[in-house]
Amino acid sequence: MEVIKPGSKIDFIKIMPYAIVVSALLVTVSLCGIFIWPKPNWGIDFAGGTEIQVAFKQPIEMGKLREAMESLRVGDVKVQEWLGTGKANTNFLIRLEKLAEEPAATATETQPGGTAAGATGKTTTMVEAKITEVFGKGSFEILKSDYVGPKVGKELRNQGALAVIIANLLILVYVSLRFEFRYAFGAVIALFHDAIISAGLIVFTQKSFDLTIIAALLSIVGYSINDTIVVFDRIRENLSRHRRMTLFETVNAATNETLSRTLLTSFVTWLAVFCLWLLGGSSINGFAFCMMMGIIVGTYSSVFVASAYVVYTERLRDRRRTAAAATAGK
């Protein structure tokens, strides 16, 4: 199936300078959003909060439990099913952003019976009372209650950012071994471009920035490099088959030849993620939204950003060769 007619000759090289300006603008705005304003809306995983494990004797509706917890008005609430020993829809993990009474100092986080521990106990009691009110007395059991402090949240933030950076560096090594370093560096620039813009969209929409967003960013990196590798493979094939073509002509031809595949793959993947966003519920809403935006940005970067670096690197080499030849001829 082809959505672009074979033999198309779209001049991507001519469009690339405008695309690079747009990319630079989007990356700058995203970085400003992340570090200056409005800054990420950190979720429970990163900001801290209370985590409670609940086991029900009979299956219940997770949506009903989530509504009950949201009515407590303790900030961001996450409810998810976890694999326990009971039946389906009986074991749940409840995460609440705020305590019933916020701790006075983070130093008490690790001290049993300290301020944080006392506040966690009050929060658990409040949750227990609400569940009893909605589902009935004796219908459940609180298995575990933990407090995730800001210090732990900060460590998770740092580790999440490090995971994205390490993933990009490992991809740099892989593409360097498979192709050339100029290709690898172009691919990694495109991946950072995708991750930063996707994160910026999450920040500006003020969606909860938690571990699911980190998972989405890592998924976007993996998805985007797949698209980029397809284009680079075709460039390498064309360079060996059409030796009389310049690199610029080869990049244009390769991008045109893979464009139909790129658009079809991206559309089908985006459609699946859109269904997750539309029907999957609040627990994966942020992940699905980030993936939707990331697929669009990743497709754009595979066509323009990754190849653009290779093209401009080659142009710079040509200028240096010309300058060196002019110097040698004097």
pLDDT in tens, 228-250: 999 988 988 888 888 788 888 88
d(CA 128, CA 64): 15
Matching CATH number, 49-148, of 1.10.3720.10, 3.40.50.720, 3.90.25.10, 3.30.70.3400: 3.30.70.3400
Give the pLDDT score at 326.
Answer: 78
Q: How is the chain split into domains, by residue range?
A: 12-41+153-321, 49-148
Count the residues in the chain: 330
Tell me how far the alpha carbon of residue 167 is from its chain's centroid.
Answer: 12
> How open is the CA angle 61-66-72, to the nearest 5 degrees?
140
φ, ψ of residue 102 to 5 degrees: the values are -60, 140
pTM beyond cutoff 0.85? no
Considering only 35-39, 246-250, 261-265, which range has the smallest mean pLDDT?
246-250
Q: How many CA atoms lie within 13 A of 242 on its CB side?
A: 15
DSSP 254-302: HHHHHHHHHHHHHHHHHHHHHHHHHHS-GGGHHHHHHHHHHHHHHHHHH
Beta bridge partners of 96: 50, 77
Q: In 3D, which of 37, 292, 287, 299 has the Cα closest to residue 190?
A: 299
d(CA 283, CA 288): 10
* 175 CB neighbour count, 10 Å cutoff: 23
Q: Which of 100, 137, 103, 97 is nearest to 121 (CA)?
A: 100
Three-point CA angle 172, 173, 176, nearest 5°: 85
> What is the mean pLDDT of the segment spanning 146-165?
86
Instruction: Report the distance separating Cα 114 and Cα 109, nearest Å.
Output: 7
Segment 79-137, tens digit of pLDDT:
888 765 667 788 998 988 876 554 443 433 433 444 455 566 788 899 999 999 999 99
Percent of the chain with pLDDT over 90: 45
Return the number of other C-beta atoms located less than 10 Å from residue 231's C-beta. 24
| H/E segment holding residue 142 | strand 140-148
What class has domain 12-41+153-321?
A: mainly alpha
